[in-house]
Amino acid sequence: MSTQKILYQPNPEFAAKAAIKNMDMYWKLQNKAIEDYEGFWKEFADEKIDWLAPYEKVLDESNAPFYEWFTNGKLNVSNQCIDRHLADKAHKTAILFEGDRGDVERISYAQLSLHVNRMANLLKHEFNVQKGDRVVLYMPMIPESAYAMLACARIGAIHSIVFGGFSSEALKDRIEDAEAKIVITADGAYRKGKPYMLKQVVDEALTQGGKSVEAVLVVKRNNEPIEWVEGRDHNYNELITSQHAECPFELMDSEDPLFLLYTSGSTGKPKGVQHGSAGYILWAQMTMEWVFDVKCDDVFWCTADIGWITGHTYIVYGPLAAGTTTLMFEGVPTYPDAGRAWKMVQDHKITQFYTAPTAIRVLHKMGEDEPKKYDLSSLKVLGTVGEPIDPPAWKWYYETVGNSKCAIVDTYWQTETGGHMISPLPGATPIKAGCATLALPGIMAEVLNIDGETKEVGEGGLLCITKPWPAMIRNIWGDPDRYASAYFGDVAKDGQPVYFTGDGARVDEDGYITIVGRVDDVINVSGHRMGTAEIEAAVAKDDSVTEVAVVARPHEIKGESIFIYIVLKDGHINADIKNHINALLSSEIGNIAKADHIIEVPGLPKTRSGKIMRRILRSIAKGEEITQDISTLEDPSIVEQIITKAREA
Ligand code: PRX
């Protein structure tokens, strides 16, 4: 029997105390959602959200696909995450910070309130940041990043975090697209025992463009020397102390944008995924309670970076809305040794640990028995996200890290979905390794064909969400047409456009959904999502390159790696082409876009109408036999030449 078929039953002791204790409870909730969709969501919105003015309608579909949830309701997300907890949790740790060098700081809800209020006043009064203004954060994993997010939420500014691994060029593009008024950054931070720098990337970005930016607020973390632009740059550490400790929050509409987060699509430039306020925070909190089953005294650790959606929803917004303690870690889980993560679990008595399959594979490879050296008995739930998890990694995570007693929640979701969509519930769902199992209650996930028909059991198809949900993407910043076409342009069910995820999936005989991976031109390297078109556009900037095609190749640790085919212009010979192209990718996008394989080929396989046959290139990169008919190619002999080159690579 394959691991895939084994059902791992929930731990009965855990299930007895879980929010969702068994499959009957799951089906009761899901059936309620099926029978009375708006009633289902109303119940939770009324129970969970601290409404400052009531909403008038649960779901407004009149302007589909621009759905509106909890119309005209008023709330403030920073109130939901901080103020409302102060009555009974003021002294409870909200953020537990561990620095790269092992320094630990505990920030209580009362202290978090003070920091956020001061930062909100700083933004509002010193920099005139108003409701609706965009604030770009280019920040390390330090508590000030969370303060900045929540301060923006407090005054109604829209934050847009750019992952600290992106290059100045990528940062500039995102600043310009959002027309940001201010950038918040840090001098740098620490990684693997050494300081690293961020501020200079902001300086470069603002030299290249980003004219909308009026000020740069700099948090001093490592105090390394940095350039300073007088009049533009401001020292957070100096300014913050004189700020007033109270900043009344703005009354925000349910649909007011909370943040933008740029992500890659299959075509063109990155998209500014726009999330709203009420629906997003509701689902962030509900999924913390259902999927991670957080309880009052839990210490939750999500290892993502705040620059990705996982960091937004499951380091900051979800845990704080749920009133739990969230661990924020500056460093990497393998430094100073392969036991760092497990030592932290032991030291902080972590109850839920949430990471990516790539990290699990690295930790496994670096120290198979390392978890056994530590007391990991505090762990209750283990989570994975971002890419399919392979059975060996799953097994190690379950047996060695979780001591065969913790549920593994394989959470499937996306930047656009705001929170989890398909995942086991740790007290209820019998689990199959490497399978995301069932859609969460309230989420209508279906595997369809392009005509919206349901696929047979076991057949691969397109993973669609057939009803709008509260935490869904609201728009692509500044590009509503692209929003409608990118997500609702491909599949219609019963004549109605439905949200297509871009992923392929299949449903098994138990109704369980297994994610197969992207079916569009998006690749996933170590859980980082990148568009092949974006990478191709960067490579094409090299003067010696005439044609380029980018595909994914399976990778033992990273899940997928980048494989690039280039055709050089006549007469160009470049012995160092790999380093050259990788340097270009690093400066245009960031180090995450560097390719493992770059091969120079005499031409690309094209049809007579000039279309590149990417399927052939994918097969070659994977080392597969070419089974498709190549006789219709403009030059069939090119395939053999490319195969030879690929073998040499
Ligand atoms: O392909 C799916 C994969 O990650 C994509 C979303 O990437 P991003 O927006 O960067 O968000 C990542 C973190 C939520 C999806 O379209 N993906 C995400 N979770 C899983 C997954 N693939 C398989 N299994 C998962 N659990």
Per DSSP, the residues of 186-244 read ESEEEETTEEEE-HHHHHHHHHHS-TT--EEEEE-SS-------TTTEEEHHHHHTTS-
Closest by alpha carbon to 289, among 640, 589, 17?
A: 17
Residues 468 and 577 in one domain: no
| Cα 293 to middle of ligand 1, angstroms | 21
Tell me how far apart the alpha carbons of residues 306 and 25 are, in angstroms, rounded to a whole number: 33
Mark which of 516, 539, 564 sits at the end of a domain: 516
Place of tokens 């060695």: 400
E-assigned strand segments in 245-287: 252-253, 259-263, 271-275
Report the chain's terminal Cα–Cα distance, integer Å.
Answer: 37
36-45, 428-437, 485-494, 610-619: least confidently modelled range: 610-619
Residue 536 in contact with ligand 1 by CB distance below 6 A: no
Residues 535 and 644 in one domain: yes
pLDDT at 436 over 70: yes
Kind of pairing between the strands at 57-60 and 68-71? antiparallel
Residue 380 in contact with ligand 1 by CB distance below 6 A: no
CB 218 within 8 A of CB 186: yes
Residue 503 in contact with ligand 1 by CB distance below 6 A: yes
CATH number at residue 495: 2.30.38.10
Query: pLDDT > 70: what percent of the chain?
Result: 99
Question: Tokens at residue 39, please?
Answer: 């009633």
Residue 529 in contact with ligand 1 by CB distance below 6 A: yes
Residues 531 and 637 in one domain: yes
Residues 455 and 560 in one domain: no
1-20 per-residue burial string, b: 16 or more CB within 10 A, e: under 16: eebeeeebebbeebbeebbb
Question: Tokens at residue 109, please?
Answer: 């809800």
Q: Looking at the domain assignment, is residue 221 inside a domain? A: no
pLDDT at 1: 36
Reported as a pLDDT band with limits 50, 70 and 90, residue 4 is: low
Structural domain range at position 584: 526-648
Angle at 163 between CA 344 and CA 302, to 5 degrees: 25
| Cα 413 to middle of ligand 1, angstroms | 5
Residue 385 in contact with ligand 1 by CB distance below 6 A: yes
**Nearest protein Cα to ligand 1, atom 11:** 414
Q: Looking at the domain assignment, is residue 628 inside a domain? A: yes
pLDDT at 195 over 50: yes
Residue 565's φ and ψ, nearest 5 degrees, are -105, 130
- CA separation, residue 167 to residues 154, 378, 588 (Å): 29, 39, 6
Residue 316's φ and ψ, nearest 5 degrees, are -105, -70
Atom of ligand 1 nearest to the CA of 502: 16
- CA torsion through residues 312, 317, 322, 325, sign: positive
pLDDT tens column, 524-564: 999 899 999 999 999 999 989 999 999 999 999 999 999 99
Q: Any alpha helices (H) in 399-503, and if so which ranges?
A: 480-488
Closest by alpha carbon to 196, among 104, 100, 105?
A: 100
314, 355, 413, 560, best to mutate for ligand 1 pocket (most atoms within 8 Å of CB)? 413
Residue 501 in contact with ligand 1 by CB distance below 6 A: yes
| Cα 164 to middle of ligand 1, angstroms | 20
pLDDT at 493 over 90: yes
Residue 502 in contact with ligand 1 by CB distance below 6 A: yes
387, 490, 499, best to mutate for ligand 1 pocket (most atoms within 8 Å of CB)? 387
Reported as a pLDDT band with limits 50, 70 and 90, residue 627 is: confident
CB 255 within 8 A of CB 475: no
pLDDT at 382 over 70: yes
Average the pLDDT over 255-284 and give the result. 94
Average of per-residue pLDDT values in the chain:
95
- CA separation, residue 564 to residues 92, 535, 544 (Å): 50, 9, 15
Q: Looking at the domain assignment, is residue 504 inside a domain? A: yes
Angle at 636 between CA 631 and CA 637, to 5 degrees: 145
Residue 309 in contact with ligand 1 by CB distance below 6 A: yes
- The torsion angle over the Cα atoms of residues 629, 631, 632 and 633, rounded to 10 degrees, is 100
Tell me how far apart the alpha carbons of residues 573 and 543 are, in angstroms, rounded to a whole number: 12
pLDDT tens column, 136-179: 999 999 999 999 999 999 999 999 999 999 999 999 999 999 99
Is there a cis peptide before residue 602, judged by omega within 30 degrees of 0?
Answer: no
CB 212 within 8 A of CB 175: yes
Tell me how far apart the alpha carbons of residues 182 and 144 are, in angstroms, rounded to a whole number: 16
Residues 585 and 641 in one domain: yes
pLDDT tens column, 387-396: 999 989 999 9
Q: Looking at the domain assignment, is residue 500 inside a domain? A: yes
Number of structural domains (the chain) is 2
DSSP 606: B
Residues 477 and 587 in one domain: no
Residue 412 in contact with ligand 1 by CB distance below 6 A: yes
Q: Looking at the domain assignment, is residue 50 inside a domain? A: no
Residues 538 and 464 in one domain: no
pLDDT tens column, 251-263: 999 999 999 999 9
Tell me how far apart the alpha carbons of residues 57 and 38 are, in angstroms, rounded to a whole number: 9
- CA torsion through residues 19, 23, 29, 30, sign: positive
Residue 334 in contact with ligand 1 by CB distance below 6 A: no
Residue 414 in contact with ligand 1 by CB distance below 6 A: yes
Residues 491 and 593 in one domain: no
Mark which of 516, 544, 576 sits at the end of a domain: 516
DSSP string over 349-384? T-SEEEE-HHHHHHHHHH-TTGGGGS--TT--EEEE
**Nearest protein Cα to ligand 1, atom 10:** 529
pLDDT tens column, 95-142: 999 999 999 999 999 999 999 999 999 999 999 999 999 999 999 999
Angle at 581 between CA 576 and CA 583, to 5 degrees: 100
Residues 584 and 496 in one domain: no
Tell me how far apart the alpha carbons of residues 497 and 483 are, in angstroms, rounded to a whole number: 13
Residues 505 and 465 in one domain: yes
Q: Other CB atoms closer than 10 Å to residue 649's CB: what's the count?
A: 12
| Cα 616 to middle of ligand 1, angstroms | 25
| Cα 507 to middle of ligand 1, angstroms | 17
264, 523, 525, 529, best to mutate for ligand 1 pocket (most atoms within 8 Å of CB)? 529
Residues 484 and 532 in one domain: no
Residue 313 in contact with ligand 1 by CB distance below 6 A: no
pLDDT at 630: 87
Q: Looking at the domain assignment, is residue 399 inside a domain? A: no
Residue 263 in contact with ligand 1 by CB distance below 6 A: yes
Is there a cis peptide before residue 140, judged by omega within 30 degrees of 0?
Answer: no
Tell me how far apart the alpha carbons of residues 260 and 276 are, in angstroms, rounded to a whole number: 9
Question: Tokens at residue 365, please?
Answer: 């490879």
CATH number at residue 565: 3.30.300.30
Q: Is residue 294 packed enough to be buried (19+ CB in 10 Å), middle (13-18) or exposed (0-12)?
A: buried
Residues 512 and 559 in one domain: no
For residue 617, the Cα-to-chain-centroid distance in whole angstroms is 28
Mark which of 474, 495, 516 sits at the end of a domain: 516
Tell me how far apart the alpha carbons of residues 258 and 302 are, in angstroms, rounded to a whole number: 21
Q: Maximum distance among all alpha carbons in the chain?
A: 74
579's enclosing H/E stretch is helix 577-588
Atom of ligand 1 nearest to the CA of 410: 26
E-assigned strand segments in 467-618: 475-476, 491-493, 496-507, 513-518, 522-525, 528-531, 545-555, 559-568, 597-600
CB 531 within 8 A of CB 550: no
Residue 175's φ and ψ, nearest 5 degrees, are -60, -45
| Cα 2 to middle of ligand 1, angstroms | 24
**Nearest protein Cα to ligand 1, atom 5:** 414
Q: Looking at the domain assignment, is residue 595 inside a domain? A: yes
Q: Looking at the domain assignment, is residue 365 inside a domain? A: no
Q: Is residue 39 packed enough to be buried (19+ CB in 10 Å), middle (13-18) or exposed (0-12)?
A: exposed
- CA separation, residue 98 to residues 210, 220, 364 (Å): 33, 17, 22
pLDDT at 267: 73
Tell me how far apart the alpha carbons of residues 353 and 408 are, in angstroms, rounded to a whole number: 10
